[in-house]
Amino acid sequence: MRNYKTVLRNGRKEVVINKSRFIGHCTRVLNDEEANRFIQDARDMHRDATHHVFAYVIGLDNEIQRYSDDGEPNGTAGIPIINYLKNAGLTNIAVVVTRYFGGIKLGTGGLARAYSGTAREAVEMGKIVEARQFLRIQLAFDYGLIGKIENSLTHQSILIADKIYGEKVMFEILVEQDSYDGIIENIINLTAGQIAINELDCRYYLQDGFRIHEI
């Protein structure tokens, strides 16, 4: 499993080009069903629009790629959007650009720039982040070890996802696979083995600087 780039949240951007109104929307998707639902929602939101151009890419190796010009001249709308997504290294993402025709033709080059540019601005509003895979590890230990363990985790820039204070202190930490052995060895040595370590699962999180968001 590899890290990949996608968007943190839904993005929206509206621009007007030669009296035509372009409205871009983007979101994260994991399969065709989610993408098609997002596309239909955009159509329902703007029922009177002239075109609803879409493109989406799914999978670590872009296994699923779909697009539509939705009545615009062939190659002037969907392809520029999907090319932008792939060139930016994005995946698990869907974009819809809705157009209200303003009466002035933009030409093939103008259309391609309008659609890809609106898509890019919508994606920027959604904020590009990295989806990184972490092991979720639960640490259970006595209260007397809190300061020592917190200091060690902070020093190693290890993310603490949750803290529970009960009969024992329990920290849920996030560790990347290639760092796992070294980190666990350090924790065991630090506590002289007076700690219970339980591997919960492995999942993707969105990393935005020092903040993480569960997908």
Chain position carrying tokens 């993707």: 204
CA distance 46 to 28: 20
pLDDT of residue 20: 95
Contact (Cβ atoms closer than 8 angstroms) between residue 56 and residue 35: yes
Assign residue 13 a region (left: φ > 0; alpha: ψ between -120 and 50; beta: otherwise): beta
For residue 168, give both structure tokens. 């024992």
Tell me the pLDDT of the chain averaged across its residues. Answer: 94
Q: What is the pTM of this model?
A: 0.84
Query: What's the CATH fold of domain 4-126?
Result: Ribosomal Protein S5; domain 2 (3.30.230)
In the chain, CATH 3.30.230.30 sits at 4-126
Query: What's the CATH architecture for 131-214?
Result: 2-Layer Sandwich (3.30)
In the chain, CATH 3.30.70.240 sits at 131-214
Q: What is the pLDDT of residues 65-88, one digit of tens each?
A: 999 999 999 999 999 999 999 999
Q: What is the pLDDT of residues 168-213, one digit of tens each?
A: 999 999 998 888 888 999 999 999 999 999 999 998 999 887 788 8
The pairing of strands 211-214 and 196-208 is antiparallel
Alpha helices in the chain (DSSP H): 32-45, 78-87, 107-126, 146-155, 180-190
